[in-house]
Structure 1
Amino acid sequence: MDGLLQRAKGDKVIWTIVAFLSVVSLLAVYSSTGSLAYRMRQGHTEYYLIKQLTVLGLGLLIIYFAHKVNYTVYSRIAQLGMLISIPLLCYTLAFGRNLNSAARWINLPVINLTFQTSDIAKLALFMYVSRMLSRKQGVITDFKTGFLPIILPVGFICLLIMPANMSTALLLGASCMLLCFIGRVPVKFLAAMVGCMAGIVLLMFIFAKLSGNDLRTKTWIARVESFMGGGDKEQPYQVQQANIAIAEGGILGKGPGNSNQRNFLPHPYSDFIYAIIIEEYGIFGAFLILMAYMLLLLRSIRIFKRCPYAFGAFLALGLSFTLVIQALCNMAVNVHLFPVTGVTLPMVSMGGSSVIFTSLAIGIILSVSRNVEETELKRIEKERMERVLQQQREAGLNMAV
């Protein structure tokens, strides 16, 4: 492991976090899918472990090749990514695969791969926002020329994601607003945008009620009411089972593979994998997972502060924001600090396209880090050569005297 870390470029701590989360993912997915694999795969309990190992291996390759690319290339493909994302999101709303009354996935017919188009949109949007923030710093306080070109695509992408995936749209919008705040966008502009988005969400609820197509709104309202303790329903079944898993985990947990709630908890390998981790590894294991994401954010902030160019700084920070905020939201749902949503735990939950695009995001962060390190090494080498030349000149003068 030390040899691999020495050969890898970029922030070594982030590489270590990726390796740690990958190991946790394999352990947690194998444990939480044992019963599922036995039922669905005729007793082949290692099926999902092998599948997750393959996806994580592909993800590590993507991280490696993405971090070898100069991050300025991503600025040039940001607009292309946006142009691709918008038609894909529209297609998903109209013809996407429907699961739990939400059209979030599309199938690629030739290779039979299913993926969420919102994953592509998130990555493209952060590259675009980072690009625009870096280019608009001179006029960032002007509403028309500075703020609108940045925020309009954010609002449009969030609106396309919102009907099928409200939680992802809200998290994406919040992450972009936070990045805009760091990019010196005036608070009054951001407050106005929050008000507009709240009004749009309200209009969506009203339209759904009037049109009679309010299945998703009923789901949203029921989740909020159950979380707040309102309505005439008790806590959702998955929340009850997650609470049992957490209670049984205790401080040190029941040990790897000893979870009972994996047999009762819906989606224990994706949305509620953190509850399984707590049951098997206890509060101590849950704390390590939380600290891993916090450390990822801190290292990205360090990259942000050291990066000499605005685009790279905003890109690294923005991508880390979306990963860490998504992770915190998933963990909050699992411990019942947040209403039930459909977000997964990045690099830990079982998945295909989500792991791929998360890996690409981490690879881009490491690309910025690698270029920062190379720039600093060149600066240090230049300063060393200047000192050597200065010493040689001084030595020549002394000999002449």
Structure 2
Amino acid sequence: MERAFSKLKGDRWLWIIIIVLSVWSLLAVYSSVGTLAYKEGKGTEVYLIKHTLLIFGGFALMYFSHLLDYRWYAGISKILMAITIPLLFYTLIFGNTINDASRWVTIPVINQTFQTSDLAKLALITFLARTLTRKQENIKDVKKAFLPIMGSVCIIFVLIAPANLSTALLMFGVSVLLLIIGRISIKQIAYVCLGVFVLLVLVVSLGPRRQTYMSRVETYLSGEEGDSEKAYQSNHAKIAIASGGLFGKGPGNSTQRNVLPHPYSDFIFAIIVEEYGAIGGAVLVCLYVALMFRCIRIVTLSPKAFGALLAAGLGFSLTLQALGNMAVAVGLGPVTGIPLPLVSMGGTSILFTSVAFGIILSVSRNIDELKEIGGSSERNKKVVVGEIPAMG
């Protein structure tokens, strides 16, 4: 074990949390894909093998991402934004439509779907971290700092919200946290919130999925007294959680996996609690809280603003996404399509989540290297002074 960890740089506890979540994901996905396998006439082993390959592919991306100096992601963020905005526009107009939502595009040759909002999350957070770092000297200037930052947030929000409002709101919440950390004035942040609120009202009232959004909110507010068909998912998720008890039914013994839609993705937390009990659910929550704690530790130790903002933005994004998924499962929020990071079955979600972890670990690796070099050495001065490489 020690030999294996010697090749993994960065926060060791973060690596352990990621490995535990990935192994748990294999168990939970294999247990919950039975209905899907039956509908498509395939064996459950097919999905397990596919999910395992995605997990290993994610680890490969994570490993190579954490080896790259985090400062290079400043320049990469510009490239990502240049790709993301046209790609989101293309998805909105020409993307694959499933359940009245155009969120996916099909990758030619391999014929696999790709959810562009996963790329957008990574692009926006890295771009905001870069912009906030570069604009610190003029952070109060409306034209030089506020407008470029607000523009990037609003453009991404507008392009994602019509088809995936929950992800758009999650990204906006993370963006506001970054603006606060980046010393944007409360008055300017209030203007951003007001602008996005207007966009939100327009999307909910005029967007293509307005009936879906209103129905979900009404179902959530009405609780069990609402239309049984509309409350079907949330009711069965509650049944799964309640029947799990304290210790659960045991791995592979869930009954609600045969009833719940998407038990392997959107409602995988309910299946985990049913099989592993309230104790298992509490352990999973603690893992994500510990993940956020390690990210905050990296933020506080990072000697430069860009690394701190990167770790904070990506850490908040992953943790809030996890808490949002679990909140829906236990009935604390309306039904959304947010997956549980590193646990839910998925393709692009796992891969881009792995890249995000790799970037956080890259920041942590840089901190460890600076500690080894020593704060008083000449070499340390050369490393610290260079905040962002020339390409950034």
TM-score by length of 1: 0.91
2:345 is aligned with 1:345: no
C-alpha deviation, 1:327, in angstroms: 0.6
Which 10-residue stretch deviates more, 139-148 or 286-295?
139-148
Residue number in structure 1 paired with 2:227: 233
- How far apart, CA to CA, are the structure 2 residues paired with 1:47 and 1:11? 34
Q: Specify the code of the residue in structure 1 equivalent to 2:258.
A: N
Which 10-residue stretch deviates more, 234-243 or 70-79?
234-243
- How far apart, CA to CA, are the structure 2 residues paired with 1:123 and 1:207? 28
Aligned-partner SS, 1:46: helix
- How far apart, CA to CA, are the structure 2 residues paired with 1:19 and 1:134? 32
Residue number in structure 2 paired with 1:367: 362
CA contact (8 A) 1:10 1:366 kept: yes
C-alpha deviation, 1:202, in angstroms: 1.7
CA contact (8 A) 1:243 1:335 kept: yes
- How far apart, CA to CA, are the structure 2 residues paired with 1:177 and 1:29? 33
Cα deviation code 1:38-76 (max 9, x no counterpart): 44234x221111111000000011111110001111111
Residue number in structure 2 paired with 1:399: none
CA contact (8 A) 1:41 1:47 kept: no
The percentage of counterpart residues that share the same residue type is 51
Match of 1:268 among 263, 266, 273: 263
Cα deviation code 1:199-235 (max 9, x no counterpart): 1222234434xxxxx5x11110010011111896245
CA contact (8 A) 2:216 2:335 kept: yes
C-alpha deviation, 1:370, in angstroms: 0.4
Query: Where in structure 2 are the equivalents of 1:34-73 lying within 5 Å?
Result: 34-42=34-42, 44-73=43-72
Q: Specify the code of the residue in structure 2 equivalent to 1:88.
A: L
Aligned-partner SS, 2:252: coil
CA contact (8 A) 2:233 2:261 kept: yes
Query: Where in structure 2 are the equivalents of 1:275-314 lying within 5 Å?
Result: 275-314=270-309
2:31 is aligned with 1:31: yes
Which 10-residue stretch deviates more, 373-382 or 178-187?
373-382
- How far apart, CA to CA, are the structure 2 residues paired with 1:299 and 1:58? 24
Residue number in structure 2 paired with 1:388: none
- How far apart, CA to CA, are the structure 2 residues paired with 1:243 and 1:206? 30
Q: Specify the code of the residue in structure 2 equivalent to 1:152.
A: G
C-alpha deviation, 1:35, in angstroms: 3.2
C-alpha deviation, 1:77, in angstroms: 1.1
- How far apart, CA to CA, are the structure 1 residues paired with 2:44 and 2:112? 22
Residue number in structure 2 paired with 1:202: 201
- How far apart, CA to CA, are the structure 2 residues paired with 1:276 and 1:237? 15
Cα deviation code 1:227-255 (max 9, x no counterpart): 11189624511111101100111111111
C-alpha deviation, 1:147, in angstroms: 1.6
2:77 is aligned with 1:78: yes
Cα deviation code 1:187-207 (max 9, x no counterpart): 111112111111122223443
Residue number in structure 2 paired with 1:130: 129
Aligned-partner SS, 1:350: coil
Give RMSD over aligned pairs. 1.6
Residue number in structure 2 paired with 1:224: 217
C-alpha deviation, 1:382, in angstroms: 4.0
Residue number in structure 1 paired with 2:387: none
- How far apart, CA to CA, are the structure 2 residues paired with 1:207 and 1:353? 29
Q: Specify the code of the residue in structure 1 equivalent to 2:86.
A: P
Q: Specify the code of the residue in structure 2 equivalent to 1:25.
A: S
Gaps of 5+ in 1: 209-213, 384-401
Residue number in structure 1 paired with 2:386: none
CA contact (8 A) 1:37 1:46 kept: no
- How far apart, CA to CA, are the structure 1 residues paired with 2:139 and 2:157? 22
Match of 2:245 among 250, 263, 268: 250
CA contact (8 A) 1:35 1:45 kept: no
Cα deviation code 1:148-192 (max 9, x no counterpart): 211211110111001100110011011011111111111111112
Aligned-partner SS, 1:105: strand
Cα deviation code 1:13-47 (max 9, x no counterpart): 110011000011000000001232244234x2211
Aligned-partner SS, 1:229: helix
Aligned-partner SS, 1:57: helix
Gaps of 5+ in 2: 379-392
2:12 is aligned with 1:19: no
Q: Specify the code of the residue in structure 2 equivalent to 1:325.
A: L
- How far apart, CA to CA, are the structure 2 residues paired with 1:280 and 1:382? 54
TM-score by length of 2: 0.93
- How far apart, CA to CA, are the structure 1 residues paired with 2:163 and 2:372? 47
Larger-Rg structure: 1
